[in-house]
């Protein structure tokens, strides 16, 4: 538990510094995932929903939410309303050079988004998925893995893994 708490503290402290590592889309750069999800303008200014860590791939992550998402999380609203957008920022974790018992964000392999539009994305539980590597969308094969994983694991939570960390 102590290791997890140290990781979370380091992650939250580092996120404000490391957001610039993620590409900011401009009008000329807007590209869409196979489902039509784009990198939302201003997502780096969204509020933190919760941090997480995946030991199987040595990643630390922060989930951000737009204003619609944050209101839904705070009010325990399910299903999430249309217009909800979640951003997942992921980093490979590395040991801190200043404090070896702590992991900090390293390389940022990708960013991911979930966009709630119950009509447009009806076939995927109302959610559109977008995974971007170096600002470019991953291919159809990668995107085809998103919804089945969410459906298998969090169908009863409107297909969202993240829980609000107040």
The pLDDT assigned to 29 comes to 54
The pLDDT assigned to 67 comes to 98
E strands, the chain, in order: 47-54, 59-65, 85-95, 103-105, 110-116, 127-133, 136-137
| C-alpha 8 chain-centroid distance | 15
Please tell me whether the peptide bond between 79 and the residue prior to it is cis, using omega within 30 degrees of 0: yes
Q: What's the pTM value of the predicted model, to 2 decimals? A: 0.81
Residue predicted with more confidence, 142 or 28: 142
Return the CATH architecture of domain 2-157. Answer: 3-Layer(bba) Sandwich (3.50)
- Cβ of 103: how many Cβ atoms within 10 Å? 23
Buried b (16+ CB within 10 A) or exposed e, 29-42: eeeebbbebbbbee
CB 129 within 8 A of CB 37: yes
Residue predicted with more confidence, 4 or 55: 55
Alpha helices in the chain (DSSP H): 2-18, 67-74, 140-143, 146-154
Domain ranges in the chain are: 2-157
Q: What is the chain's mean pLDDT, rounded?
A: 87
């Amino acid at each position: 538990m102590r290791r997890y708490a140290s990781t979370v503290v380091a992650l939250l402290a580092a996120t404000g510094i490391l957001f610039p590592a993620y590409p900011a889309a401009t009008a000329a750069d807007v590209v869409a995932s196979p489902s039509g999800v784009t990198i939302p303008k201003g997502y780096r200014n969204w509020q933190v929903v919760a941090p997480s860590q995946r030991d199987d791939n040595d990643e630390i992550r922060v989930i951000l939410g737009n204003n619609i998402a944050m209101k839904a999380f705070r009010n325990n609203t399910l299903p999430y309303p249309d217009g909800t957008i979640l951003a997942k920022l992921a980093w490979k974790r590395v040991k801190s050079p200043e404090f070896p018992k702590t992991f900090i964000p390293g390389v940022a392999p990708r960013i991911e988004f979930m966009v709630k539009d119950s009509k447009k994305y009806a076939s995927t539980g109302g959610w559109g998925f977008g995974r971007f590597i170096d600002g470019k969308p991953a291919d159809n094969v990668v995107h085809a893995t998103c919804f089945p994983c969410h459906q298998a694991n969090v169908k009863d939570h409107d297909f969202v893994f993240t829980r609000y960390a107040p």
